[in-house]
Chains A and B, each alone.
Chain A
């Protein structure tokens, strides 16, 4: 059983719009979350981590974690065509992990 579920599978937003991604852990031990994104032909790059309940904002990116429901979301405001990529949620059972479990990914297309 996959430990991390992501939705939607794909998403299209207009330039300047808001893109939102969802992620849920099926294992209550996995409470530490990361967001990564991957442009075509490259390795993933970390966007941000969130380990505490509530919101965490970094520039145009805001993550929200609800530990009770093991739900985490990522929102990108003022989306740009360069944000078009595959977005992954990842979870671990420790903040100093050795094993990180990735979700299936959401493909974002930002239309100019």
Chain B
């Protein structure tokens, strides 16, 4: 069975500090990977997607970056946090491109920027 693990579960960070969030998928080779951001109780905004190792596409510019260093790992980061970065960050995976399979989301990371 496939599992998706996000870390950390929650973070409290200061404005201007760096950030690194991670996501690991086990039990599925070469998944499509995605990062989403969600304001509290709000809609989901897709940030990035990756079809293969080393390749990441940006969907919106929010002073964030993403990398896929391994087939099963997706990292979201920034060197300088803004207040507007607060929210819920969700990693998701789906089957390889060409299918219409659903997204499978992790439990998310709650980020509070103070």
Contact = CB atoms under 8 A, between A and B. Distances in A.
Interface of A: 2, 32, 34, 36, 41-46, 49, 51, 86, 88, 90, 95-105, 107
A105 to B, nearest CB: 6
Contact of B105 (A43, A95, A103): A43
A102 B59 CA distance: 13
Given A86-B41, A102-B46, A103-B43, 12 more contacts: A2-B43, A36-B103, A42-B107, A43-B105, A46-B102, A98-B49, A98-B57, A99-B46, A100-B103, A104-B42, A104-B43, A105-B41
B102 A43 contact: no
A107 B40 CA distance: 13
Interface stretch (B12-20, B66-74, B79-87, B93-101): B93-101
A43 B107 contact: yes
A44 B44 contact: yes
B105 A44 contact: yes
Q: Is the interface of A mostly helix, strand, loop or mixed?
A: loop
B49 to A, nearest CB: 5
Chain B, interface residues (CB within 8 Å), range: 20 to 34
Interface of B: 32, 41-46, 49, 51, 57, 59, 90, 92, 97-100, 102-108
A102 B44 contact: yes
B67 to A, nearest CB: 17
Contacts of B41: 86, 105, 107
Contacts of A99: 46, 49, 59
B106 A43 contact: yes
B103 to A, nearest CB: 6
Contacts of A32: 100
B102 A49 contact: yes
Contact of A105 (B32, B43, B49, B104): B43
Contact of A95 (B49, B59, B90, B100): B100
A44 B45 CA distance: 13
A45 B97 contact: no
A7 to B, nearest CB: 13
Contacts of B99: 96
29 contacts: A32-B100, A34-B102, A41-B107, A42-B108, A43-B90, A43-B92, A43-B105, A43-B106, A44-B90, A45-B105, A46-B102, A46-B103, A46-B104, A49-B102, A88-B44, A90-B44, A95-B100, A97-B100, A98-B57, A98-B97, A99-B46, A99-B49, A99-B59, A101-B46, A102-B45, A102-B46, A103-B43, A105-B41, A107-B41
